[in-house]
Amino acid sequence: MDKGKRITGAARDELAGDIEKAYEGGASIRAIAASLGRSYGFVHGMLVEGGVTLRGRGGNSRREGGV
């Protein structure tokens, strides 16, 4: 896939499906973007367009000891 090239029609639908599968399989948006040679924004947009529920930013939000 050429970087920055517009993707339309069936090719876009197929790519969206591949992105969704990878994301739902645990891959990060940044990892997917790097593997495709596309931007974070492109991948994020494809996920949002496809109605995928995005994960939180991750990390432990609570310190040990309940404080």
Domain boundaries, the chain: 9-49
Given a cut of 80, whether residue 7 has pLDDT beyond it is yes
CB 31 within 8 A of CB 7: no
Per-residue H/E/C for the chain: CCCCCCCCHHHHHHHHHHHHHHHHCCCCHHHHHHHHCCCHHHHHHHHHHCCCCCCCCCCCCCCCCCC
Q: What is the pLDDT of residues 23-43, one digit of tens each?
A: 999 999 999 999 999 999 999
Given a cut of 80, whether residue 2 has pLDDT beyond it is no
